[in-house]
Amino acid sequence: MADGHGTGDVSFDLTGKVAVVTGGSRGMGRSMCLAFARHGADVVVASRKAEACVALAKEITDLTGRRAVGVGAHVGRWADCDRLAATAYDEFGRVDVLVNNAGMSPLYPSLPEVTEDLFDKVIGVNLKGPFRLASLIGARMAEGDGGSIINVSSIAAVQPTPTELPYATAKAGLNALTLGLARAFGPTVRVNCIMPGPFLTDISKAWDLDAFHERAQRSIPLGRGGEPDEVVGAALYLASSASSYTTGAIIKIDGGAAFPAA
């Protein structure tokens, strides 16, 4: 993508760009889809629930006038990743921004009771899918006009707890993948990672929120969980020419909850 570096101007303009966002129909993914469109991008909204993606795509077009397409895809499945990439290029002819945002972290009673199926699904959605999509789309970006890949990790990658170890393991792998892909696809493709802390998305409805808020007051410097829209600034920065000299970066957005990675 043309970065306009050296001009002294900082712009979040995405006019003429195409963004693909997995896990895009709700939470942080939804916020990013809407923000990209408001800044001029056409958007491919992808998640496991095709109906929700199509509904958000229509909402994006109604609100912003940008073209948006909803695609049902389970990124833990190699074939679905291939189909999603093919659909994006068939519909728009290019992809300039890929956001690997889809994730899952199911509960389990104890570590010995983690089933092979649960483990494989968590690794599949959080790591295998981003690898496949970034490999396919990143290679095409590098052959064309370049682009930006944004992975969405978690502070669990650097401060894992016993209750989310498969998830933390996958996200640590995603951090490593970010660094390797930045080297693989540079200099025309930038690959970076957003590492969120606890965000109050749909997933948080399953939490004991009273206990969370009490704990947040003690353990998070900003004293609260994040709101989905609070990821937008970093996403726009990484998607746009504003980050023209940023690649291989892992940006912690967690209210100060986690210590920096060693």
DSSP the chain: ----TTSS------TT-EEEEETTTSHHHHHHHHHHHHTT-EEEEEES-HHHHHHHHHHHHHHH---EEEEE--TTSHHHHHHHHHHHHHHHS--SEEEE--------S-GGG--HHHHHHHHIIIIIHHHHHHHHHHHHHHHTT-EEEEEE--GGGTS--GGGHHHHHHHHHHHHHHHHHHHHHTTTEEEEEEEE--B-SGGGGGS-HHHHHHHHHHH-TTSSPBPGGGGHHHHHHHHSGGGTT--S-EEEESTT-SPPP-
Q: Which residues are catalytic?
A: 154, 167, 171
